[in-house]
Amino acid sequence: MTKQHETAILAGGCFWCMIQPFDQWDGIHSVTSGYTGGHVVNPTYEAVKSGETGHTEAVQIEFDPSIISYEKILDIYWNISDPTDAGGQFIDRGSSYRPGIFYLTEEQKLKAEASKEALEQSGAYDKPIVTEITPAEVFYEAEEYHQDFYKKDPEHYKAYRAESGRDKDKSLVN
């Protein structure tokens, strides 16, 4: 039986903290750290974090939609990001850490918009939901040391995550 394949691209602050929450789900083939949405070809981490390339740190999720739906991926995303903060995420500030959903198909766009609308209507947040939903652009894979960082350096990852403020809200604990 051939694995089905779909791609999602999401930004929710530091990509180190965006890998593990998706990695643990059945149907996820891979989660890759990278950069998207900017104007520089083949950006580096240093250039992106300077804020001058226009890119944001993001993850590219390869998944089997017969096992895990795009809607479920969006549900996970809303629970690990702060959709009310356009200026960054948690301790990470600046445009390179802004939240975003980058759709690859019209179907993904419609599902993302419906998911955002449902979140807005839920009353879960006192502030407006500001996460942008935009067409996907080129996704550049980040340097190797950023890939699966939570596995490569678990102590550093845990310390960073604890200091970041992500886990103050129990819904963000992963």
Catalytic residue among 14, 18, 73, 136: 14
Q: How far apart are CA 149 and CA 16, in angstroms?
A: 6
Active site residue 17: no
87 Cβ neighbours under 8 A, 6+ residues apart: 93, 94, 98
Question: 10 pairs with which residues across the strands?
Answer: 59, 101
Q: How far apart are CA 161 and CA 142, in angstroms?
A: 19
pLDDT by residue for the chain (174 residues), tens only, comes to 556 899 999 999 888 889 999 999 999 999 999 999 999 999 999 999 888 999 999 999 999 999 999 999 999 999 989 999 998 888 788 889 999 999 999 999 999 999 999 999 999 999 999 999 999 999 999 988 888 877 887 887 787 777 777 776 544 433
